[in-house]
């Protein structure tokens, strides 16, 4: 895995970014759910398993990596730069309380796409200045999947961050079929979802429906 170039990052399709949580997969094996979601239109997958020890986390990542690679879907690791490098993931995603961006970039040495969660416009501006490859706006709406977040930013927050940075912008937090289109229409490059796909009776159909909403909104519908 060589250094990540600007052109390689530009080719990443952030349209429908799935963040995993095995506890929300309704008892189904995570690789099965991820495979179905990708078949339905998911374009990026971040494996987020905060309660797993390092070895188990690596095993979870290695279980989904082959099916993502054969479909050309990038794999992102939550928080852990060391684990992302060890499993040869495509990227790592950092929260505001995780490893500082400058240190993560130094350790990654150009081998990982680095995303940063942003709760304010200033967070996003700082992330861009610090060399982030993309930012996520978090949370847009209240969500039960994460309880340690800042107050919801709403559609206006997405619009403000989109206007403040040139990086790809994705949005996460309480996103579903009723509000996904609004997020794209204010300029976001994609939406991040968790339970809207993982907990759906049919993850493939849920992903396909969301991807359809994103594409229609992107084309003015």
Confirm whether 145 is domain-assigned: yes
Confirm whether 207 is domain-assigned: yes
Number of domains in the chain: 1
Question: For residue range 146-179, what is the model confidence (pLDDT) as tens digits?
Answer: 556 678 999 999 999 999 999 999 999 999 999 9
Question: For residue range 114-130, what is the model confidence (pLDDT) as tens digits?
Answer: 999 999 999 999 999 99
Predicted model pTM:
0.94
CATH number of the domain that residue 127 is part of: 3.20.20.70
Confirm whether 153 is domain-assigned: yes
Tell me what pLDDT residue 2 has.
Answer: 42
The active-site residue out of 65, 80, 105, 117 is 117
Does the annotation mark 138 as catalytic?
A: no
Does the annotation mark 48 as catalytic?
A: yes
Mean pLDDT along residues 1-23: 78
Confirm whether 43 is domain-assigned: yes
Q: Which of 173, 128, 178 is nearest to 154 (CA)?
A: 173
* 3-class secondary structure per residue, the chain: CCCCCHHHHHCCCCCEEEECCHHHCCCCCHHHHHHHHHHHCCCEEEECCCCCCHHHHHHHHHHHHHHHHCCCCCEEEECCHHHHHHCCCCEEEECCCCCCHHHHHHHHCCCCEEEEEECCHHHHHHHHHCCCCEEEECCCCCCCCCCCCCCCCHHHHHHHHHHHCCCCEEEECCCCCCCHHHHHHCCCCEEEECHHHHCCCCHHHHHHHHHHHHHHHHCCC
Mean pLDDT along residues 65-75: 97
Question: Could you tell me if residue 173 is left (phi over 0), alpha (psi between -120 and 50 degrees) or otherwise beta?
Answer: left
The active-site residue out of 15, 35, 48, 136 is 48
In Å, how far are 37, 43, 186, 203 from 208, measured between CA atoms? 8, 11, 21, 8
Confirm whether 1 is domain-assigned: no
Cβ atoms within 10 Å of 80's Cβ, excluding its own = 21
Confirm whether 159 is domain-assigned: yes
Confirm whether 190 is domain-assigned: yes
- What distance in Å separates the CA atoms of residue 107 and residue 92, rounded to the nearest whole number? 11
The active-site residue out of 65, 80, 146, 162 is 146
Cβ atoms within 10 Å of 23's Cβ, excluding its own = 13
Does the annotation mark 204 as catalytic?
A: no
Tell me which residue range forms the domain holding 33: 6-218
With a cut of 50, say whether residue 3 has pLDDT above it: no
Question: For residue range 35-62, what is the model confidence (pLDDT) as tens digits?
Answer: 999 999 999 999 999 889 999 999 999 9
Show Cβ contacts of residue 127 under 8 Å, excluding neighbours closer than 6 positions.
101, 116, 118, 135, 165, 167
Q: Which residue has the higher pLDDT, 61 or 221?
A: 61
Confirm whether 149 is domain-assigned: yes
């Amino acid at each position: 895995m060589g250094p990540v170039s600007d052109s390689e990052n530009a080719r990443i399709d952030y349209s429908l970014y799935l963040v995993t949580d095995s506890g929300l997969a309704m008892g189904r094996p995570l690789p099965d759910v991820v495979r179905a979601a990708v078949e339905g239109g998911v374009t990026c997958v971040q494996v987020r398993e905060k309660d797993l020890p390092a070895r188990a986390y690596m095993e979870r990542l290695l279980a989904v990596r082959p099916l993502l690679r054969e479909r050309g879907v990038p794999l992102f690791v939550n928080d852990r730069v060391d684990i992302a490098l060890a499993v040869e993931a495509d990227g790592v995603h950092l929260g505001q309380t995780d490893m500082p961006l400058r240190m993560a970039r130094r350790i990654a040495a150009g081998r990982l796409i680095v995303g940063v969660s942003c709760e304010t416009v200033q967070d996003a501006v700082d992330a861009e200045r610090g060399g982030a490859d993309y930012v996520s706006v978090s949370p847009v709406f209240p969500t039960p999947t994460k309880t340690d977040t800042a107050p919801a930013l709403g559609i206006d927050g997405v619009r403000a961050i989109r206007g403040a940075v040139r990086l790809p912008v994705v949005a996460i937090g309480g996103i579903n079929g009723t509000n996904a289109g609004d997020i794209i229409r204010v300029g976001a490059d994609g939406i991040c979802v968790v339970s809207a796909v993982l907990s759906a009776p049919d993850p493939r159909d849920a992903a396909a429906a969301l991807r359809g909403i994103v594409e229609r909104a992107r084309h003015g519908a």
